Chains A and B, each alone.
Chain A
């Protein structure tokens, strides 16, 4: 009894800590954003009405609450700018995730089949670029992709092209940047699934008459699907909200939702609409987040 009570309180506190963190740094700010998204824009500081004046009493709060409206959300669904931003975000995220899978799977598969002592080194090679600032790496890509950059110089030297190709400010550049930045997020979950796979299963498949190719498609690939799902969602979710990469590498023709948000906040100073867009983005990402959570749970339960 006494031994229990010694440990019970700190243990309970430790269990509460993550929830406290979530409330303080996620729920409360989200409450602010949600509230702003329901109010009207104003030329003021801060640029929206109404504000809760807690000192003015219950009546004032009630008056302020009555001012809230869903107008901003109605704007989101009626203005094609927002809809096309959302659609573009999802399209870019789906395409990038597909490319990431195509590149990441063979790399993860190769890593998992390396001799045991080489695997940590391969893992390091995947992670090491993260030690450099993300922004610096994107600027490095600008350097490589620009008109007289490394890539064009190489292509010219190898006589593959006769005039420099326009890379920068195109979707190609954006996809290069996204795929480059998110590749580790794809490789690591895939590698984790593939590395723990029992080699005897492949042997059993070949013992039962499956050629190496058949064995891969009938055994390895289906069993790696949880890793595929985890990697795909781990990339898809943040790519939808990506701002920096499209802003620095893509053209200004069409925008992803992150860019639209930024524009509303900082250029138009329309905080309520921007907040509404942010809330909508979050709602959009809840289904894939739940899916990811379920996948993780299933792997935890079935794994071992």
Chain B
């Protein structure tokens, strides 16, 4: 799962990609690329990059292409190697093997101060002895820019992150959100070809994080810059990124759009990592039209729509997202039963969690397996809510099932 072609190919199961609007071709302060990119060439190509710390394989021969103007997220649990990969892109770690091509140049061995990329640090790493203005100007001075040019650029950056009037303050006189903006302005000031963001919103509280996510997306779109963000927060990655690389144990498990990751995960691991999921291990029985009948370990037969790539293995895992599991008191009427509710599981509600927008139910089947279902609370007064101990029918359509072979 380490190679990903530059174009998004339409994936199985008819998952379309409305995703994020593409960045406009010409943005007001877009960084002029310093070299011509061949039309089909990615801006950044990571080729078989590996890094080992002692006996720990942090990044394992990983390959990835990132196009210019993308908002790419590296998502994974802690210790999956996403930060190490980002640090290799910034130059703080040197890969043991492989190449990192920026345009046509291999930058794997170039020291950080000579790379045309910039990084926004997790805890911002603002220089505490310098004012906001001098923090932002730091990189520009190192680039040997003329004084008046620096002043213009700093003013431009201060306006971009809406920090007018704060230029003379020191970092310890700023709030968390303001520090975050200074860090962003500082890393954008040099107009890097790629901006790396290491958990940029982790230090903000939830409300601020949400509004900052939108601002970051807006900024990236306006600047037309390439952003690579590292995060362990899947909601954050799905909100902001146009593509996500899910990492585990130093490898990319899947690279796809947020929707693809959720609706068509490649593996059981990805299905479980992104969102909630009900999993049923079973054996493929027989095929019928384009349906696959899978007999689960619990002895239930589930009908699922066969994915475009034909299932070759006999042992598979059927995955269904909780919001796609419907509940009813009685068996659905025959018409619906034929088309949508072929998979019916009878059980008892054991757990009801009201979460505001939706209610999460746990239904214990006769076999002992637990099915999770979440129901959107579309009406304010819900006289129909299920109670713990109630007998219900959980049902779902074959189209909503995902068949995972690994």
The answer to the question of B302 belonging to the interface, with a C-beta cut-off of 8 Å to chain A, is no
CB distance from A161 to the nearest CB of B (A): 45
Q: Which residue of chain A has the shortest Cβ distance to B118 in the bound complex?
A: A207
Interface 1/0s, chain B 101-139, versus A by CB < 8 A?
000000000011110001101110111110000000011
Task: Count residues of B near A (Cβ-Cβ below 8 Å).
Answer: 25
Which listed residue, B123, B128, B142, B187, touches A210 by the CB 8 Å rule? B142
Across chains A and B, the number of contacting residue pairs, with CB separation under 8 Å, is 61
With A200-B121, A200-B123, A302-B172 given, is the CB distance from A206 to B111 under 8 Å? yes
Determine whether the beta carbon of A208 is less than 8 Å from that of B139. yes
Which listed residue, A208, A214, A218, touches B186 by the CB 8 Å rule? A208
Within residues 183 to 233 of chain B, which ones have a CB less than 8 A from any CB in chain A? 186-187, 190
Determine whether the beta carbon of A208 is less than 8 Å from that of B190. yes
Q: Which residue of chain A has the shortest Cβ distance to B87 in the bound complex?
A: A203
Determine whether the beta carbon of A207 is less than 8 Å from that of B112. yes
Within residues 174 to 188 of chain B, which ones have a CB less than 8 A from any CB in chain A? 186-187
Determine whether the beta carbon of A206 is less than 8 Å from that of B121. no
Q: Given the complex, which residues of A lie within 8 Å of B118, measured CB to CB?
A: 207-208
The answer to the question of B90 belonging to the interface, with a C-beta cut-off of 8 Å to chain A, is yes
Determine whether the beta carbon of B127 is less than 8 Å from that of A201. yes
The answer to the question of A99 belonging to the interface, with a C-beta cut-off of 8 Å to chain B, is no
Within residues 70 to 126 of chain B, which ones have a CB less than 8 A from any CB in chain A? 90-92, 111-114, 118-119, 121-123, 125-126
Determine whether the beta carbon of B142 is less than 8 Å from that of A203. no
The answer to the question of B376 belonging to the interface, with a C-beta cut-off of 8 Å to chain A, is no
The answer to the question of A281 belonging to the interface, with a C-beta cut-off of 8 Å to chain B, is no
Q: Given the complex, which residues of A lie within 8 Å of B186, measured CB to CB?
A: 208
- A207 to B111 CA separation, bound complex (whole angstroms): 9
- A218 to B130 CA separation, bound complex (whole angstroms): 10
Q: Which residue of chain B has the shortest Cβ distance to A222 in the bound complex?
A: B129
The answer to the question of A126 belonging to the interface, with a C-beta cut-off of 8 Å to chain B, is no
Question: A residues engaging B (CB < 8 A)?
Answer: 198, 200-201, 203-212, 214-215, 218-219, 222-223, 302
Besides A203-B121, A208-B113, 18 more A-B contacts (Cβ < 8 Å) are A201-B125, A203-B92, A203-B119, A204-B125, A204-B126, A205-B127, A205-B138, A206-B111, A207-B113, A207-B139, A207-B187, A208-B118, A208-B190, A209-B114, A209-B139, A210-B113, A211-B113, A214-B142
